[in-house]
Amino acid sequence: MLRAVLRGSRLCPALLRAPFSAAAASPIPAPNPRPDIAFNKIFINNEWHDAVSKKTFPSINPATGEVICQVAEGDKADVDKAVKAAKAAFQLGSPWRRMDASHRGKLLNRLADLIERDRAYLAALETLDNGKPYAISYLVDLDMVVKCLRYFAGWSDKFHGKTIPLDGDFFCYTRHEPVGVCGQIIPWNFPLLMQAWKLGPALATGNVVVMKVAEQTPLSALYVANLIKEAGFPPGVVNIIPGYGPTAGAAISSHMDIDKVAFTGSTEVGHLIQKAAAESNLKRVTLELGGKSPNIIMSDADMDWAVDQAHFALFFNQGQCCCAGSRTYVQEDIYNEFVERSVEKAKARVVGNPFDFKTEQGPQVDEEQFKKILGYISTGQREGAKLLCGGNPAADRGYFIQPTVFGDVQDNMTIAREEIFGPVMQILKFKTIEEVIERANDSKYGLAAAVFTKDLDKANFVSQSLRAGTVWINCYDVFGAQAPFGGYKASGNGRELGEYGLEAYVEVKNVSSPGSNPLEQLQIVFVPLLWAGLRTGAKL
């Protein structure tokens, strides 16, 4: 079964490559398509709360359009409660502040153990709420979640400050201190993985968290909340609020007592977050936003592999990836063959019930996205792109869309400039390497890019010329907790993952003190200043 799934879905091998992990060695357990929902409230102080307003909202199964359950709807009042809990947990002298860094790592490792224990359940829940194929949830999302948490567990006692050879007789060092209360707003396309990406670095470095999960997909994050409690994190360290952006999300980004906000989502909302931070308390901001990532196929590339990877780059996760390779630039002399084979591949893609092991593509996440994508498809047709396959809904109910390929796409078309976030592939033609670099960079986005070539010089030249936070050479969507990820330009601020990802979660404190007689030091420092002042005629 495993092999069938792997071959069928043609996943990037790098994503599934885990020769020693238990997951790859044992078959995927059969899914329970109706997992019990145990947690649907607001998680504050390791306890479950109704919304202050008592309001709830429905979480919907995108494969059927049916309501799964009602979930407590957090708003400003709930965010305030959560921030209070988080602040109390972060007080000087609190258990969390006095905990050994290595013990924070131990707790994160324990959380990873618990997620591994409940892997099949969480994968089913993710599929139910988000619509992604269960095999992918189980093999890709859950695997990466566990690895991400373990990776950051290791960092907790290794993010070193420095001692610094300051001029004069001073002893000078830096401490990497946690920023404080971190607001984290996460999206619906990889609910569990985005939660892990946010929690891992924040907790490893000793912060406390108020997290708002997407209204489309709150369920798996709330289950993990319970595991956080079980792992033994002190109350208030992690607080999780399901709710909407304009209410709960806005309350976080404009909160006067939140020290940092991290957001993953659309560029449009990213603007609002940064503005709210500026207008409130100048909280630190990291953003991981949209993209329109170029994928450049040179004519000397391995054709089979390039077609395969370009397909995967766009269609993975129903096209709902911020780093989707949504501008596929193909060199002129192989363009026709590449297009033909890409259409063939798209037509063969199996769309259907995400709990079915044969399924490669599930539904889009909700009706709004579904309609938006269909709107982009008609715009593409209207603006003169050539619709080569797909273009329509793929089922009578649920938010399924046929895998769609456009050829003869021009750079000025809407579908070549805007993020579609759906299973719609744009193929563009280019002639020279200089031309394609210029066109690839002509975008407000800069999240990811790829180049396919066998030529070492081309690979180096293109990869160093592209303005993108991640460049893949002869591969796509290769992720690991070790490698930093984030955007140039309007694709975001800051980086997540890797050692770089820790920087966003610490304040650097510089401590200096005289090494011996303080009076002597005063003279050493101020006498030259005095002389410099006198020389320039300045008054001291």
Partner 1 sequence: MKKQGSDGNPAPVMPALPEPLKDLKIKYTKIFINNEWHDSVHGKKFAVFNPATEEKICEVEEGDKPDVDKAVKAARKAFELGSTWRTMDASERGRLLNKLADLVERDRLILATMETIDGGKLFSTAYLMDLGACIKTLRYCAGWADKIHGRTVPMDGNFFTFTRHEPIGVCGQIIPWNFPLVMFIWKIAPALCCGNTVVVKPAEQTPLSALYMGSLIKEAGFPPGVVNIVPGFGPTAGAAISHHMDIDKVAFTGSTEVGKLIKEAAGKSNLKRVTLELGGKSPNIIFADADLDAAVEFAHIGLFYHQGQCCIAGSRIFVEEPIYDEFVRRSIERAKKYTLGDPLKPGVQQGPQIDKEQYEKILELIESGKKEGAKLECGGGPWGDKGYFIQPTVFSNVTDDMRIAKEEIFGPVQQIMKFKTIDEVIKRANNTTYGLAAAVFTKDIDKALTFAAALQAGTVWVNCYSALSAQCPFGGFKMSGNGREMGEYGLHEYTEVKTVTIKIPQKNS
Closer residue to partner 1, CB minimum distance, 70 or 512: 512
Closer residue to partner 1, CB minimum distance, 167 or 457: 457
Stretch that binds partner 1, among 18-26, 125-133, 183-191, 342-350 (CB under 8 A): 18-26
Query: Which of 421, 426, 477 shows the shortest CA–CA distance to 450?
Result: 477
Of positions 31, 35, 234, 265, contacts partner 1 by CB under 8 A: 234
Q: How far apart are CA 40 and CA 71, in angstroms?
A: 5
Check residue 518 for interaction with partner 1 (CB under 8 A): yes
The two structure tokens encoding residue 534: 């006198």
Closer residue to partner 1, CB minimum distance, 337 or 499: 499
Query: Which of 344, 280, 278 shows the shortest CA–CA distance to 310?
Result: 344
Of positions 87, 119, 132, 150, contacts partner 1 by CB under 8 A: 150
Check residue 517 for interaction with partner 1 (CB under 8 A): yes
The two structure tokens encoding residue 227: 């595991």
Q: How far is the CB of 134 from partner 1 (least distance, A)?
A: 25
Q: How far apart are CA 151 and CA 128, in angstroms?
A: 28
Q: How far is the CB of 19 from partner 1 (least distance, A)?
A: 8
Just list the catalytic residues.
288
Assess contact for 365 and 130: CB atoms under 8 A: yes
Closer residue to partner 1, CB minimum distance, 87 or 147: 147
Q: How far apart are CA 205 and CA 153, in angstroms?
A: 10
Closer residue to partner 1, CB minimum distance, 165 or 537: 165
Question: Which residue type sits at 217?
Answer: T
Check residue 473 for interaction with partner 1 (CB under 8 A): no
Of positions 26, 412, 464, 536, contacts partner 1 by CB under 8 A: 464
Which residues, 99 to 138, sit near partner 1 by CB under 8 A?
Answer: 99-103, 105-106, 109
Check residue 160 for interaction with partner 1 (CB under 8 A): yes
Assess contact for 127 and 121: CB atoms under 8 A: no
Of positions 43, 121, 134, 155, contacts partner 1 by CB under 8 A: 155
Query: Which of 174, 168, 213 shows the shortest CA–CA distance to 193?
Result: 213
Which alpha helices (H) appear in 266-408, and where do they start and end? 267-279, 303-315, 332-348, 367-382
Binding string, 422-461, against partner 1, x = CB under 8 A? ----------------------------------xx--xx
User: Coil, strand or helix: which one is 178?
Assistant: strand
Query: Which of 103, 129, 319 shows the shortest CA–CA distance to 224?
Result: 129
Q: How far is the CB of 160 from partner 1 (least distance, A)?
A: 7
Binding string, 196-215, against partner 1, x = CB under 8 A? --------------------
Closer residue to partner 1, CB minimum distance, 150 or 345: 150
The two structure tokens encoding residue 201: 């670095």
Chain-centre distance of CA 91, in angstroms? 29
Report how far apart, in Å, the C-alpha atoms of 426 and of each of 3, 246, 328, 334 are. 30, 32, 6, 16
Q: Which residues contact 31 (CB under 8 A, 6 or more apart)?
A: 120, 123, 124, 127, 134, 138, 355
Q: How far is the CB of 460 from partner 1 (least distance, A)?
A: 4
Q: Provide the edge-to-edge strand list for the sheet that holds 163-164.
A: 163-164, 170-178, 506-514
Q: How far apart are CA 144 and CA 140, in angstroms?
A: 6
Binding string, 65-104, against partner 1, x = CB under 8 A? ----------------------------x-xx-xxxxxx-
Of positions 281, 336, 510, 516, contacts partner 1 by CB under 8 A: 516
Q: How far apart are CA 151 and CA 485, in angstroms?
A: 15
Q: How far is the CB of 480 from partner 1 (least distance, A)?
A: 8
Of positions 2, 10, 21, 57, contacts partner 1 by CB under 8 A: 21
Helix (H) or strand (E) holding 473: strand 470-473
Closer residue to partner 1, CB minimum distance, 381 or 465: 465
Q: How far apart are CA 33 and CA 443, in angstroms?
A: 41
The interaxial angle of helices 119-130 and 191-204, nearest 10 deg, is 120
Question: Which residue type sits at 223?
Answer: Y
Check residue 513 for interaction with partner 1 (CB under 8 A): yes
Check residue 485 for interaction with partner 1 (CB under 8 A): no
Closer residue to partner 1, CB minimum distance, 448 or 497: 497
Which residues, 164 to 193, sit near partner 1 by CB under 8 A?
Answer: 171
Stretch that binds partner 1, among 269-277, 296-304, 507-515, 522-530 (CB under 8 A): 507-515
Closer residue to partner 1, CB minimum distance, 392 or 516: 516
The two structure tokens encoding residue 527: 């006498």
Stretch that binds partner 1, among 76-84, 149-157, 300-308, 319-327 (CB under 8 A): 149-157
Query: Which of 31, 47, 30 shows the shortest CA–CA distance to 39?
Result: 47
Check residue 230 for interaction with partner 1 (CB under 8 A): no
List contacts with partner 1 (CB under 8 A). Answer: 18-21, 93, 95-96, 98-103, 105-106, 109, 147, 150-151, 153-158, 160, 171, 234, 456-457, 460-461, 464-465, 480-482, 499, 513-518
